[in-house]
Structures are given as structure tokens and as C-alpha cells.
Structure 1
Amino acid sequence: MELTAAEPKDKEKLVGYAFYEIYRDGEKIQAGYGVEAICDKSACTVKVWRGLDALCGEQLGGDEYGCGGYFCGAHIYGAPEGQLGQRCFLCRDNGTDPLASSPDAMVVTFGPDGAPVGAAHRS
């Protein structure tokens, strides 16, 4: 699927950060909340707008906190406490996928009645 930046009908009336160009990984890209793109998570095909709400990190183009990619709501998370912005699934947890299986993860299965399956019940 090939996407191009949306061209507003009257650019002179636009204000703010709808369309601009930045450098990310040495490549010039169009960004802004008026620029349509696909989520930067591989294999994800969800449409995003390259606004600050989809940006990983605190600075455009990437910084020490994030990669500068643009992600859909399913692949971007709030920044750790005390930091600004949002993080993609890799930058949030320093390169580990939080959705991957972990040997120390707690898994609970719920039955149709909403009660945990296989759990000991206290009376």
C-alpha cells in the first residue's frame, strides 16, 4: 500500500504542526498530524497520522528515550514515570517485547462465570 502526504485544499489556512519535514535515521520524512502513514510496527497495517500523539520518544526524529517512529494505539504506550511522551513496544521496555512470553509472567485463565479457572478458593 502506497501512501502519500495528504495535501490540504488551502495550505495557507493551516496552523500548527499539520505538515513539516524531519530527519529520522538520516532520511528526510514528512510528519505532522496531517500526514497519513502506516504504523511502524512490522506487519501492522493500521493507519496512523504522524502527529505527536503517535510519536515514540520526546523529540521528533528520535532521541535517547525513543526511536522517533509513529505507532498505532495498540503498539504505543505511556512513557515511564517521570518522562514525557510515549514509547513503542521496544523502546518502552528497552528492547524487549512486553507481549512476548516470559518465564516469570503470571497467567490467569477465567471461566465463563468470570471466576479464575484452577485457582484455589478461600471460604
Structure 2
Amino acid sequence: MRISDSLILVAGLALLSGCSSEPAADPLATGDDSRVSCALSGETEFTDKCDVERVQNGDRRELVMRHPDGGFRRFEIVTDGRGLVSADGAEEAVVTPLADGRIQLSVGDDRYRIPATIRPGAGGG
């Protein structure tokens, strides 16, 4: 399963489009898009060591970020203007657009950089 298929949902970042119901971002086509850059447990450098899995859990769509040590973080894809939320609810997820065509997803001491193209006009409402 390709992350680019699931990122269209993640990138349904109504979060970035204010009150628009259309997706504000599209996935950036890349070669091996099941692996993303991450900095785990407070690391300062990002490396391409995290795998991404899309999961359909009943009527919920989720992204699972898998760590090389076997750990993972689950995020629910939502359409209420937030884009992604922590699926377990323990810690709040923060989504930040980056200038290089990606978004940064942060929760606790873990950060992930996911390819996304922000559509023109995103952020208005």
C-alpha cells in the first residue's frame, strides 16, 4: 500500500485550507514512498528510517508510523479541519507545513516529515 494513496487523505488538510472542504494538499510522488524521514525520541537529525502503513479501522482511516525498534504511533485522518490527530489520544499531534513540499507531524518527542504539496489558496477560508 502506497503512502501517496493515503496522503491524499492526510493532505485533506482542511487544517491548511481553513473552512474549505477541498483538500489543501496532494501527495508528492516519490520513488519509495512507504518510508519517511523521522527523528525519534528527541533526536535532532531526521533519517529515512520510519515506515508508513495505511489502515482502515471500521469507518476510521489511520496512518501508522512504524519505528525501526518495533515501536509505532497511530494517527487518525480527520476532516474537521485538523488533518491528523493521535489515534490513541495520549498526546496531541501537531501538523506544520514545511517550505520543501512536506508537512511535519509531531507528537511527544517524535517527529515525521511526510511529502505533501500545498495547493494554492490553502489557508484561506
Report the TM-score, using the length of structure 2 for normalisation. 0.29
Structure 1 or 2: more strand by fraction? 2
Of structures 1 and 2, the larger Rg is shown by 1
Report the TM-score, using the length of structure 1 for normalisation. 0.29
Q: Higher relative contact order by CA 8 Å / sep ≥ 6: 1 or 2?
A: 2
